[in-house]
Chains A and B, each alone.
Chain A
């Protein structure tokens, strides 16, 4: 089979969204479906985290080397979670199969595979629940929608619950608020109990636990990288910023996703943050120990999420900071917003965040003490505290991709838009069914952004890619701004495939372009070292 990259886009678009056949058969041909599943978690990573059943195996093996009593473990796991998570219990009972969610999943739209309809994805687990935990299912079995838990079902779970990015889009349309992300999280926890995980999730988890970040960057490299990025910045702007790392007594602990200081184009966003802090004289520090805001524990289990998130408050306490500022990252913000305080709080040793530049008190973060960088910057721009030259972004015609988690687990919709409009002259929205709470996933979230899964990523990227193409054709958009580290890694190949000619960047890269720094040279290039639009360079001050 030709790799998905080589196939022209129209071949990857499903012929129709009209499923045929009976979904109750769990069998999957993993050989034939290469490109649509992820490599299993390595024995080394599983062992490092103390996870169950570490071994080397492949989904194409006939024998997945499950523990002898795997069925008991899974059923016991379900029983426990029904008591511990009301959402899970209610979501198992209340679905009426109205079908409102069916065509809301990017993976269904892009694959036409019926089991990618959120309702059926949930039924994969719900059918087991019915058969084993409800009176109707025990008596009437299949007639009541029950299925027996077999090894084939477990393999089917592995395929489809690692084909859900936990984006929560279906939950927006569900009349009962059934959230497939919650069901997928439970299914992944259950699978992890018997050693079924994917490597793109557990390896970052193991790295993060040991070194402090997903990429496994050790502290000396962390520092070197940042020095290197700031050297490059000095070449572009003439301004040399001193990195602030592990500095006790700073006012703010600044936490970012690790790819921001390691992978393009996230690195430009990273220097954008630091330029902003330099510009307003913020007293902040980064941490080489808490060097990861992202948290792949969210895609593993609640316990793992808590374990990895622990270091943020722990480090804030050690360094004696007053509050926490968080960079641009989607799932990181789901954890900081919806889980951190509950799991590792109370953060009563910190103070209610207050912007030293504007005096704004961020009351909405009074308990967590964590503020999103877009909230912080939007406030600065609103109060006119930044010297900005918007024309430096004039060659960019920008659209904005809402990250799933900041949109549907926070409601951070206007802040990033306010920042973009504050630093860019050309901003265009994608169609309204594809942005804000309706936003489409990049199809690489929740640990699925790995290359062996590329066909599924490109398929799932169809709705987002198509919306980008729409504004590219209509408004000549050439820049897709986003506030998510996974987006910055996964949207570039998606755009290359579905909407060639559109580049991807973080919002604070645009901020960095526009910021007029004290003592800077005349800017001839943007942060990427690419020339600014000609008119911007030659522009005379209005009063000259």
Chain B
């Protein structure tokens, strides 16, 4: 159900772009105004959210420890799974952000009712798809810097050269494009086919996937089918950068579909689960060292609660304590 609603929503957005440009001649709106607003919403929205998280207190140091602690000198601790200090915590975070360490632990549980057996099967597909998707998205984003910058820097050229290593097709088909779309399709298929993941999926989960697939598809069509005028595109984007509105001319409908979907993605991010991107950096179970007993962690709102004092306790049980021969504070 959520899968269908979201598909309709994303298709509807694409259609809006096509109609707006083709019929309504709203090139300025879709090509300039909407992306501009979306970018502002994205920046302000994410900033606001991160500030709100940042202002929330971290009353306790609660890392989830996934390896041996640092205690006795002859026991080797696992600094990256159970950091004893900030350096280890940074290393652990790097593992999470760059390599998706925790996802790599994934396995699947299988029940054999007849033999009364529970077994665990290594399952790295989710990890592989997540890595493929996120890393190719990053490289694709870096590649796009050739449109954002007047002079294409050498590192962009380099990314592009390696990305087109296999030199298939004219223009060259980028490896990241293929990987990006394949990974997204896997993640989508998984949601539709795996009963557990289907049960937990919300419309928003499909929406994000369709949006990204739509962006990828329109980008591919622009590059390989419609073949937009790059000079015009660059002029339009340079216009945003210099805050001068340049309505792109001589580019077809797919360009506007691409731009509108990217705009929606940007504006949607601060209000959605896509916040996991900034959120992971602030997660107290991962970014804190397990130095609890070595260094005192301070709770900024530590409430002034006292328990039952010894004196109160001794008073209540005084006679019993005396009879049992306990040493007492008050005879």
State which of A83-91, A264-272, A384-392, A485-493 sits at the interface with chain B: A83-91
A94 contacts the other chain (Cβ, under 8 Å)? yes
A311 touches B310 (CB 8 A): yes
| A17-B196 CB under 8 A given contacts A94-B279, A338-B292, A414-B75 | yes
Q: Which of A104, A177, A307 is the most central at the interface, judged by chain B CB atoms within 10 Å of its CB?
A: A177
CB-defined contacts of A103 to chain B, threshold 8 Å:
108-109, 196
| A16-B111 CB under 8 A given contacts A310-B306, A341-B293, A466-B117 | yes
A327 contacts the other chain (Cβ, under 8 Å)? no
A14 to B110, CA, bound (A): 11
CB-defined contacts of A77 to chain B, threshold 8 Å:
none
B310 touches A87 (CB 8 A): no
A314 to B108, CA, bound (A): 47
Residue in A177, A308, A360, A414 whose CB lies within 8 Å of B64? A177
| A418-B293 CB under 8 A given contacts A83-B57, A311-B310 | no
**Chain A 309-330 near chain B by CB (<8 Å), digits 1 or 0:** 1110011001000000000000
Residues of chain A in range 9-25 having any CB-CB distance to chain B below 8 Å: 9-10, 13-20, 23
A182 touches B298 (CB 8 A): no
Residues of chain B in range 91-121 having any CB-CB distance to chain A below 8 Å: 96, 100, 102-103, 105-109, 111, 113-114, 116-118, 120
| A143-B5 CB under 8 A given contacts A173-B102, A415-B72 | yes
A210 touches B69 (CB 8 A): no
**Nearest chain A residue, comparing its CB with the CB of B61:** A338
B197 touches A15 (CB 8 A): no
CB-defined contacts of A9 to chain B, threshold 8 Å:
116
| A219-B273 CB under 8 A given contacts A173-B103, A342-B61, A437-B65 | no
A114 touches B53 (CB 8 A): no
A99 touches B196 (CB 8 A): yes
B62 contacts the other chain (Cβ, under 8 Å)? yes
B12 contacts the other chain (Cβ, under 8 Å)? no
B103 touches A87 (CB 8 A): no
A165 to B81, CA, bound (A): 23
**Chain B 45-86 near chain A by CB (<8 Å), digits 1 or 0:** 000010011111111111111111111101101100110100
| A175-B310 CB under 8 A given contacts A23-B199, A365-B294 | no
A413 touches B67 (CB 8 A): yes
A409 contacts the other chain (Cβ, under 8 Å)? yes
B293 touches A364 (CB 8 A): yes
B310 touches A318 (CB 8 A): yes
| A97-B202 CB under 8 A given contacts A219-B317, A341-B293 | yes
CB-defined contacts of A413 to chain B, threshold 8 Å:
67-69
**Nearest chain B residue, comparing its CB with the CB of A145:** B202
State the Cβ distance, B288 to closest chain A Cβ, in Å.
10
A34 contacts the other chain (Cβ, under 8 Å)? no
Q: Which of B52, B58, B283, B286 is the most central at the interface, judged by chain A CB atoms within 10 Å of its CB?
A: B283
A171 touches B52 (CB 8 A): no
Residue in B59, B293, B326 whose CB lies within 8 Å of A365? B293
CB-defined contacts of B317 to chain A, threshold 8 Å:
211, 218-219
A18 touches B196 (CB 8 A): yes
**Nearest chain B residue, comparing its CB with the CB of A346:** B296
Residue in A18, A219, A248, A303 whose CB lies within 8 Å of B305? A303
State which of A117-125, A274-282, A511-519 sits at the interface with chain B: A117-125
A310 to B299, CA, bound (A): 16
A467 to B329, CA, bound (A): 51
B205 contacts the other chain (Cβ, under 8 Å)? yes
B200 touches A177 (CB 8 A): no
A383 to B201, CA, bound (A): 55
State which of A51-59, A233-241, A374-382, A530-538 sits at the interface with chain B: A374-382
B326 touches A177 (CB 8 A): no
B308 touches A218 (CB 8 A): no
A114 touches B199 (CB 8 A): yes
A289 touches B313 (CB 8 A): yes
CB-defined contacts of A16 to chain B, threshold 8 Å:
111
**Chain A 167-188 near chain B by CB (<8 Å), digits 1 or 0:** 0100111111111001000000
**A-B contacts, 6 listed (Cβ < 8 Å):** A19-B199, A85-B58, A90-B282, A94-B273, A136-B272, A362-B71
Q: A338-B61, A364-B69 are in contact. List 4 more A-B contacts (CB 8 A).
A: A89-B52, A307-B306, A366-B295, A436-B67
Residues in A lying within 8 Å of B, measured CB to CB: 9-10, 13-20, 23, 82-91, 93-100, 102-104, 109, 114, 117, 119-120, 123, 134-136, 143-145, 168, 171-179, 182, 209-212, 218-220, 223-224, 245-248, 288-289, 302-303, 306-311, 314-315, 318, 337-339, 341-343, 345-346, 360, 362-368, 370, 375, 378-379, 382, 407-415, 418, 431, 433-434, 436-438, 462-463, 466-467, 469
Closest 4 CB pairs of A and B: A310-B307, A411-B69, A94-B279, A177-B285
Residues in B lying within 8 Å of A, measured CB to CB: 5, 49, 52-72, 74-75, 77-78, 81-82, 84, 96, 100, 102-103, 105-109, 111, 113-114, 116-118, 120, 126, 130, 190, 194-197, 199-205, 271-273, 275-276, 279-280, 282-286, 290, 292-299, 301-303, 305-310, 313-314, 316-317, 320-321, 323-327, 329
